[in-house]
Each structure stands twice: as structure tokens, then as C-alpha cells.
Chains A and B, each alone.
Chain A
Amino acid sequence: MRRKKLTPLVLIVVAAAAALTGALVTDTSPQLGLDLQGGVSVVLQPTKQADDEALSQTISIIRNRVDALGVAEPDIARQGRSIVVQLPGVKNQQRALELVGDTAELRFRPVMSSIPGSIEDLLSSTTTTGPGETTTTVAGDTTTTAATDVTGQSAVGQATPFQDPTTTTTAAGDPTTTTTAPVGEPSTGFELTPREDDVADQPVVLAERDADGKVVSTYQLGPSAATGQIVSTAAPELDPSGQWQVRLEIKGGSSIDAFNAIAAECFSGSPTCPSKQLAIVLDSEVISAPTIQQPSFERDKIQISGSFTESEAKDLALVLRYGSLPVNLEPQTVQTVSPTLGEDSLRAGLAAGLLGLALVCLYMIVYYRALGLVVVLGLGVWASLNYAIISKLGVALTLSGVTGIVVSVGVTVDSYVVYFERLKDELRAGRTLRSSTERSFARAFRTILAADISSFIGAALLFWLTVGPVRGFAFFLGLSTILDVVVAWFFTRPMVGLLSRNRFFTNARWFGVARGLDAPRTAAVAPAGGAR
């Protein structure tokens, strides 16, 4: 009986200790929100109605840009029609602000030449190989890679019902395309153009990356021949051979004329487009660089083929559609917090929280004597679990979150007060402490549960339905409420049971539980060990 009751106590103390040491040893501390460590927060809204698809495309564009900034824990999320960008700890705040709100444009640029991978890859592979063999290895290497690469690449052709799929492949895999890459002298002119220098009417060097952000190819590109505005629509489809491709439709009039003008240049391999490839560039990233297979196209019979997977085809179509209607963003709120200001807030919040906690503990000990110790220990368990969970989940702790935690201290301590006052009632009714602990707990726990559930409902609703700081607050309030119930059941109950069996704790003159509960002396004094 006794052992069974102690199991949960041991369990939770061990769990709390393990969680806390775990967090401390692995050095995971709660991630700080930007109001506590400084940073930039922007809420953007599209100026015109934008559909879901365009908004998520916008978010991924912003994410790309932010990744380039090197922010540790960026948070870019959609809330309703708005896009909330949080960049805690970002070093260059001004630059971040400029980057985030910029409208992304889709551009069609002719490819002058290309190399596989990045220039750094190429140079490092050069240096690692022996000097005598350099040229051959690199050349040999490159050609093969490029060749497969090109086969893996795409081509723009006319959509005809009876089109022979091999036509496309052959054209795309045409090795002459690859040889235009200046394999021999890789270091010339393949340094990437910085984002801010990517101007429409200037030649640039841009990269194509895979999903992991690794550079697949680097392109020297000519001035932009057309923007995404010429695109009417685009959709992924299966060709007759079961291969995924993208059907592109260009708007009529000047749009298709512009497209055909550049198509003609590329098809003929003129000096403005020697590679015969036309790159589709969104926000300084090359999305695809298909080879042009015809000098001119009908506006609704264009297809981009290559060995696309279904998702690649969908992504490419999405980019093209986004380009036709780029989302213009207007900042609704801009907030920058300097690191020093954040640090000040954090320190003040911590100091105030600790002082408040100390005062609460002191009050509880003075009021409930030995039982006050249970509160202090219980708060310790509660705090350790809370700390470990917050660290583990990696939810950014903001000032409003800190407030939520401070408030929940009050809620947590109340659970003890409810229980202890209940005990007091039982003792006054003439029961012994030992016989009252379980009864009182059962009744008090009902109350605690009822009250905590209502708190939790509130926290959950706030979390789902609101934005920004209110959410952070609700999250921490809800978490603390759950922990409160857990601690009450697993810690407080067995702990008080334990104390009630110990003569010192029950009857000590100034410190005893009996004293703290204002129990009539005779009633509380359990016949020491007698009943057992």
C-alpha cells in the first residue's frame, strides 16, 4: 500500500530531475522571442486579393530570402490574409526589412552559358585533383555531369497530339548545348550576382538550387526578355508516354510576340542566346532553363518537358502562375527591437518572476508551515517540467509568454490552497490528519480539475483564434495548466500522504502540519505508528 502510493511521487521527481538535467546538459534553453532578444517582426498584407496558392508561393519566396540572411530561427507564417515574419536575433535589421517586403518578379532570361554546380564546387574539385590531370578530369567530369544534367533538364516544344516524346529528349540531350559552357576556364564570370544587383535589364549570374538549397547549376544570363506578366496560365499534365510536363499558356498580343521574339533568338542560337536555353527566373533563383525547340509558338500550345517528377511539374507550373500575378505586399506593422532593449526586458521579467515566486513560497511556508514546503517542492517540480518542455518544443518565449507563466504560478499555487483548506475543514470536523489526506484530496482534485479545465478551454480557444502575442500567452497558460493537474496528482497527493505519517512534520511545535492547518492538537496528533 505504502509503496504503491510512493511510486508516482518517485516517478515524477525523477522525471522532473531528468528533464531538467537533460535540458541543462544538452544546453537546450527556451528559445527567446524577438521582444526578448531583439529582432524584426513584420506583418505583411497583399495589396490586392491573392489566392492561397499565390500566398504560399510568396511565403516560400520570403523564406528563401530569409535563409540567405542567416537568421537562426525565422518564423514565417500565414495568419488569415496576412503573412507574419518574425526574425529574432537578426543582425542587420534594415537589410532584413528591405528584403522581406520586396515584390518578387518572374523573368525570362536567355542563358549565355552554364556550369553544373557552383563555381566553388568546380574550383575545389580542381584544386583537389593533381595538377597534371586537372584539365582532363574536370573536362571529363563536367561533360558527363552536364550531359546527364541536360537530359534531366527541360525543353520547350510545341504541344501536338502526336508528338514523339523522343524528339524532346533528343533535343534536350543535345550535347552541343553543353559544350557551350566554358568548361576550360571555370573561374571567369561565374560568381553569383548579389540579390540587390539583380536588375532586369542587366546580365546576371544566378543559380538553380535543389530542395535542400544546394546549387545544381550556375547560369550566366542575359538581360530579361520578358516578365511573368506575359504568362496567362500554366498547369502540370501527363504527356502520352506518361511523362510529367508543364503546359504553358501565354497571353495574346504583345505578350506572345515578346515570347516568340526571344524564342526565335534562342532557337537560332544567336549571340544573345547562344545556349538555346531560356531560363525561368523567380526572385533571383533559376527555376528551370529549358531548351527552345521551335522558332515560334502558338500562344496556347507550349509545353515544357523534361524528366520531371509530378511535384517538380506542379512546382514549375505554380511558379509560372505566380509570375503572372505577383503578390505585392504592404507592411501592416513593422517592429524592430534592439538587442539591448530585449535584454533589458528579459532581465526585468526574470528578476520580477523570481521575486514573485520567492514571495509566494515565503507566504505559503508562513501560512501552512510544513505543508508550505510541499508547495515549494511542488513548484520546483512544476518549474523543471515546464522549463524542459518549453526548451524541447522550441516555442519562442515572448514577453507575453512570460506573463502567462507568471500568472499560471497563481493558478498552480491555488491548487495547493484548495487542497490544504479542505484538509483544514476535515481536521476541524475531528478527523485525524492521516485519515483526511486521501478524502480531502479526492474532493479537492475535483475542484482543481473543474477550474483547470475552464482555464484550459480559454487558453485553447485563444490559441486557435487569435494572432501574435496573444497566442504565445495562451500557449504557456495552457501548458502550465496541464502541468498543474499532473503535479497535483503525482506529486502533491503522495507527498502530503508521506508528511502526514511523519511525526516531526505533523507535530513540530512551530513548523508542524497541524500548526499550519490550525488543527485542534488532539485531533491532528496521529497515534504515532500506533494504527499500523
Chain B
Amino acid sequence: MTGPVDARRSIFARLYHGETNIQFVSRLRRWAMLSGLVIVLGLVSLYFRGLNLGIDFEGGVVWEVPAGDVSVADAQDAMESEGLQGLTVQSLTSEGTTRLRVEAEPLERARDAEAISQELADLTGADVNDVSLNSVGPSWGEEISRKALRALIFFLIAITVYISLRFEFKMAVPTLVALVHDVLITIGVYSIAGFEVTPATVIALLTILGFSIYDGIVVFDKVDENTKLVGTSHNLTYGGMVNLSLNQVLMRSLNTSITALLPVASLLVLGSFVLGATTLEEFALALLIGLFAGAYSSIFIASPLLAVLKEREPRYRDLKAKLAARQGPVVAPLAPDLDDELAEASAARARPVTPGAAAPLSGRPIPPRPRKKGKRR
């Protein structure tokens, strides 16, 4: 992976050496359309199909019992004779044991659920304490959702305040946009795929929000640091600087996403598919989708949006015009996405900025500085 410095390298090698020059900022429209498409598809599906809400939101009762020799049909008959409404009976198999899962609409009296537990235990010959029961009244889900929503609103306000204090308000706006983006995409995928929404999903969704903000802040911190590079001396517009910062943190973002995805993926694959713990599946699925969306949005949505917002400030608008007048458009002249002619490893280190070269868009955050003598650490 780390050969000697070549003139031309594969995209992975360039990523690894921090030499990419992908035009994130100037192609915001492209990324926005891509995201917009997914979001619209999701919203359409949400409107027509809605979400597959679990019993925790709609109310209902679920029993799970070791199946013994009882077939799904037998259980279905037995439960129908109990007069349960909206009945579905499934069998779940994990590690060689089969369990029956009986789902029904909320019962008139919550206490009847316990009687049915006994009934099921008698039917399958299991001990009544081996019957898992989950009964939720119809109003409970409403309360959970309301509380989660309230927490979410406070969370958004607090994050906005925090980012405004730590960085600036204009950085809070793209963060929130990216956040809404991630949530919409996750909900959309859930609606399209018809995955069941459970409290676990809500938790996963909140995690995604946290992660999305976390990711965004790491990128913005770099942008914040690089702001001093903006100006005529470095031939860099704000947008150009954001783009530079993104390329600099790209490997970080990829590594972080990979390390975050590895445990979640193992949760999904090993935890739920191999070992059959369905609750883990509920968590991991939403997390997986959301982490992808979060990694994508912090790079492709939040940062370019920040550049667009900032370049509306007179200061940066004037700078952009000035630089454009001097030498044509600054940020996007590099026709292929990955033109690294100017991003060679040694270029920025060795040479001072040559006028006429489009821009020092290499991944060097630190301007070369003569080494001090006698510096000890």
C-alpha cells in the first residue's frame, strides 16, 4: 500500500497518502440531488406505506414460547379460540431451538395477557416462566414518542448553542441540515424496506444523530483551523479552503467510519443472524444505515453547505471575485475529480507557492517553516 512516491497512484494509495483532491464543494448540487432523490423516495414511501410500527408504538401483545412439538397452525387454532384479535403466529429458529411468536392486538384487560401466557405454556408443555410476554397499552407508545421528540428538540437546541459558542452559528446550520438528512434517510429506508420500528430503532436513530454531529465537528474543527489560510496570499477562497480541509480529513473520516461500522456489522451478522438475538438486529440495522448516511452527510452535505453559506459573506464573496478575476475560477478548474498533479507529496513542502499554478491544493495544513535549531522535545 505504501510504495515509494509515485507520480500516478491508485485512488486508495492517494487516499492513504492524503493526496486526494476531490471536488466536494463545487459539486454540492450533485450530492444534494443524490441525497434528495433518496429522501424523496423515502418520503413517498412514508406517505403511501407508512412505517411498520412495532407493538411498542401501536400497542399490542407478543408472546414467545419454546415451541415443543406444537406447530404454527396448532398454535394459531388454539389462540383463535381464545378470541384474540389481529393474530399472527410465527416460528423463530435459532441455534436449533424453535420458538413460537404470537402477536395480537391490545387486549381489553391487560391482565388477560397473563392468562394467555398460561394457556400457551399448557399448549407447548413449557414452564409458564419460559413464556416471554410483552404487552403494551395503546397510549404508551405515544408517550415514549413524545418524550423522545422532546429530548430531540432540546438536544438540537443544545447542540446549536454549543457549536455556535465553540465555532460559529454558521457551522451549526449545516450540522443540523446534515442531521435531518441522516434521519430522513434512515426513516425512508425503514419505510421502503418495511423494517419494524421498535424502541431499539429509536435509540439507534438517536445514536446516529450523535455520531453525525460528532463526525461533523471533527471536520469543522479542521475547517476552523484552516480558516487562516483563506486569502490572497494562499490563493484560497473559503470554498477552496473547505475543500482542502475535507481532503485532509478524508482518511480520518473513512477510518472512523470503518471502525464504527466493524462492531455494528458484527452485531448484525454474528449477533442476530448467527446467534439469533433479534433485538440486536433491530439495533444494528438502523445503526448501519445511519452510520453510512452520517459519514456521507458530514463530508458531502454539511461542509459544502458551510462553504456556500460562508461565501455569501461580503468578505469571502469579494475575495472569491478578486481571485477569480486574477486567474479564473479557483476552486474547480481541475477537470477530473481526482486530478492530483498539484497534490504531489513533495510539492508543497519543497516549493513556495508559484503564482500561476492554480492553487496549492495539496493536503498540507502546515506551511513549511524553517526548522529551528536546538529544538528539543
Contact = CB atoms under 8 A, between A and B. Distances in A.
Contacts of B206: 458, 462, 470, 473-474
B159 interface: yes
Contacts of A458: 155, 158-159, 206, 209-210, 213
B270 A334 contact: no
Contacts of A465: 147, 150-151, 154
A454 B162 contact: yes
B365 A407 contact: no
A31 interface: no
Contacts of B210: 454-455, 458-459, 477
B275 interface: yes
A360 B267 CA distance: 13
Interface stretch (A56-64, A87-95, A115-123, A316-324): A87-95
B155 A435 contact: no
A335 interface: yes
Contacts of B365: 425, 429
Given A351-B270, A352-B266, A411-B214, A336 B279 contact: no
Contacts of A477: 207, 210
A470 B148 contact: yes
B114 A403 contact: no
A421 B251 contact: yes
Q: Would you call the interface of chain B mostly helix, strand, loop, or mixed?
A: helix
Contact of B259 (A351, A417, A426, A474): A417
Nearest to A434: B377
Given A94-B117, A345-B277, A360-B263, A413 B271 contact: no
A341 interface: yes
A303 B280 CA distance: 59
Contacts of A518: 2, 16-17
Given A421-B251, A451-B217, A454-B214, A348 B377 contact: no
A333 B134 contact: yes
Interface in B259-282: 259-267, 269-272, 275-277, 279-280
Contacts of B2: 515, 518
Interface residues of B, number: 95
- Max count, chain A CB within 10 A of own CB: residue among B16, B154, B248: B154
A98 B118 CA distance: 13
A134 interface: no
A356 B263 contact: yes
A414 B259 CA distance: 8
Contacts of B364: 425, 428-429
Contacts of B140: 43, 332-333
B127 to A, nearest CB: 9
Interface string B280-298: 1001000100000000000
6 closest Cβ pairs, A-B complex: A356-B263, A410-B260, A352-B271, A348-B277, A348-B275, A465-B151
29 contacts: A80-B143, A94-B117, A94-B129, A97-B114, A98-B114, A101-B111, A330-B137, A334-B134, A335-B135, A340-B130, A349-B267, A352-B266, A356-B265, A363-B258, A403-B204, A404-B207, A407-B260, A410-B211, A410-B256, A411-B211, A413-B256, A414-B260, A417-B256, A421-B255, A425-B364, A428-B345, A458-B158, A464-B151, A467-B143
